[in-house]
């Protein structure tokens, strides 16, 4: 079991990195990677939300959306148990869960860990519109090739978050040095950041085939 | 409102406020699905439909939505239209197209362009103008998706719209994989910046001559 979990994490950090291979979560990746300190804060917050979101959406998917005997709504309304709610409610319920989760996290952090809350600042509410969070929820449940267990789904969320943190930390290191370099004027700012990300993705390509 | 200003609301989205190259929004789908021109057009069409409909509904309900909870309200409206688009595409479009767009159709919900237009335009303007704005921004985004996906398909697969261009060209498959996407978008952005700088320089020269 531990071997499988380690394998999922390694594959999500190096081979199927959410940012560099699956193009998820690019907005915060480019928006918050100017400084290493804020990049680390963003990475930590995204990892936390992704882990919790994949755990909760897995429960929602298996016990409320999916048709079958496990469906809780189906116990009250038998017709829902036969058809399930997956087609119509998937997107809305996931995004509402993530938005609520981020709001809850914000309130909890403000009460319990004010130091972390201050350092995350405006990035915390922005996580709601981070497509990596909704992406991992969808990849764990509806768009997964096989049915994942609860632990696998949660680990996938955690691993995806770690992969995001690694990518954004590397990127912030590069961008802190880019400031000092003489770059042609039209390429300054975002264009050169995109090209650097492309080269990073190319480097991460070297890991492909290491884990299936 | 005069015809001219209506045209202005529509056309500003095409170039002046182009979503991808000027506002730099909605990057994730612009890179992920632009492996071929067909994917780019379908993604652009789906997002444009959601953008127009959500702009329309948001501008209708705006008197009844309190400022404090406007963002959750927008997200629910957008999610409803995304569900409609997803079900329609599953029903009427070929399965391989749906498979290649994958999770990026439901991910239109968190596409920043749509939330940005709802918040900064539709929440402050009348329904008709909001539809025009949505159509303009959506069309501008679709055009830039076509540009990126066309370049990537020609370089990476040697085809355009699935038709083979030349038998002498050996496709560089890195262009349709992740690194190619980043590099193509970076260079295109650089090109547009260069054009803008050149234009600015020219207008400065004219200004100096007048002096």
Question: CB B103 to CB A138 under 8 A?
Answer: yes
- Per-residue pLDDT at B210: 58
Show residues of chain B in contact with A30, CB under 8 Å: 24, 27
Query: For residue A70, which of A150, A136, A135 has the smallest C-alpha distance?
Result: A150
Q: Calculate how close chain A gets to B209, using CA atoms only, in Å.
A: 25
Provide the 8-state DSSP code for A12: I
- The answer, yes or no, to whether ipTM is higher than 0.90 is no
B106 touches chain A (CB under 8 A): yes
Q: Calculate how close chain B gets to A198, using CA atoms only, in Å.
A: 4
- Per-residue pLDDT at B208: 65
Kindly report, residue by residue over A55-106, the tens digit of the pLDDT. 999 998 888 888 877 777 777 887 777 777 777 788 889 988 888 888 888 8
Question: CB A138 to CB B178 under 8 A?
Answer: no
Total-model pTM: 0.87
User: Contact, B132 vs B10, CB < 8 A?
Assistant: yes
The 3-state DSSP composition of chain B as helix, strand, coil percent (nearest 5) reads: 75, 0, 20
Q: Which residues contact A164 (CB under 8 A, 6 or more apart)?
A: A17, A18, A19, A25, A29, A43, A46, A47, A50, A132
Helix (H) / strand (E) containing A66: none
Question: CB A202 to CB B186 under 8 A?
Answer: no
State how far the Cα of A173 lies from the Cα of A33, in Å rounded to an integer: 8
- A60: helix, coil or strand? helix
pLDDT at B145 over 90: yes
- Per-residue pLDDT at A164: 94
Kindly report, residue by residue over B112-141, the tens digit of the pLDDT. 889 889 988 999 999 999 999 999 999 999
Q: Which residues of chain A have pLDDT under 50?
A: none
Q: Give me the residue from A27, A96, A198 closest to B179, CB to CB.
A: A198
pLDDT at B202 over 90: no
Q: Which residues contact A99 (CB under 8 A, 6 or more apart)?
A: A128, B72, B75
- Token pair for B103: 């999770």
């Amino acid at each position: 079991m531990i071997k499988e979990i380690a394998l999922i994490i390694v594959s999500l950090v190096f081979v199927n990195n959410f940012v560099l291979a699956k193009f998820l979560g690019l907005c915060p990746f480019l928006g918050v990677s100017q400084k290493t300190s804020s990049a680390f804060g963003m990475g930590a917050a995204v990892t936390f939300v992704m882990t919790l979101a994949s755990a909760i959406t897995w429960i929602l998917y298996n016990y409320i959306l999916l048709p079958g005997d496990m469906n809780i709504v189906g116990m009250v309304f038998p017709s829902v148990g036969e058809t399930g709610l997956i087609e119509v409610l998937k997107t809305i319920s996931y995004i509402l869960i993530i938005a609520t989760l981020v709001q809850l996290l914000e309130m909890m952090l403000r009460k319990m860990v004010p130091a972390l809350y201050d350092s995350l600042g405006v990035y915390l509410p922005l996580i709601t519109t981070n497509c990596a969070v909704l992406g991992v929820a969808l990849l764990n449940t509806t768009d997964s090739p096989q049915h994942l267990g609860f632990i696998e789904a949660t680990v996938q969320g955690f691993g995806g978050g770690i992969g995001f943190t690694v990518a954004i930390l590397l990127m912030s290191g590069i961008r802190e040095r880019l400031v000092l370099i003489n770059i042609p004027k039209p390429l300054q700012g975002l264009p050169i950041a995109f090209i650097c990300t492309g080269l990073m993705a190319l480097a991460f390509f070297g890991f492909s085939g290491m884990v299936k | 409102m005069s015809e001219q200003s209506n045209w202005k609301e529509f056309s500003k989205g095409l170039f002046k406020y182009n979503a991808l190259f000027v506002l730099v929004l909605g990057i994730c789908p612009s890179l992920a699905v632009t492996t071929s021109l067909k994917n780019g057009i379908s993604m652009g069409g789906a997002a444009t439909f959601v953008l127009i409909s959500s702009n329309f509904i948001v501008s209708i309900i705006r008197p009844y939505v309190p400022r404090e909870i406007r963002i959750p309200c927008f997200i629910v409206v957008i999610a409803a239209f995304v569900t409609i688009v997803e079900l329609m595409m599953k029903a009427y479009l070929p399965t391989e197209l749906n498979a290649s767009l994958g999770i990026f159709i439901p991910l239109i919900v968190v596409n920043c362009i749509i939330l940005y237009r709802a918040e900064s335009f539709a929440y402050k303007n009348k329904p008709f103008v909001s539809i025009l704005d949505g159509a303009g921004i959506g069309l501008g985004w679709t055009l830039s998706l076509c540009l990126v996906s066309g370049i990537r398909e020609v370089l990476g697969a040697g085809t355009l719209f699935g038709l083979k261009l030349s038998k002498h060209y050996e496709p560089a498959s890195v262009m349709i994989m992740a690194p190619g996407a980043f590099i193509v978008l970076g260079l295109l952005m650089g090109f547009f910046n260069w054009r803008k700088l050149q234009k600015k320089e020219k207008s400065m020269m004219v200004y100096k001559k007048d002096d």
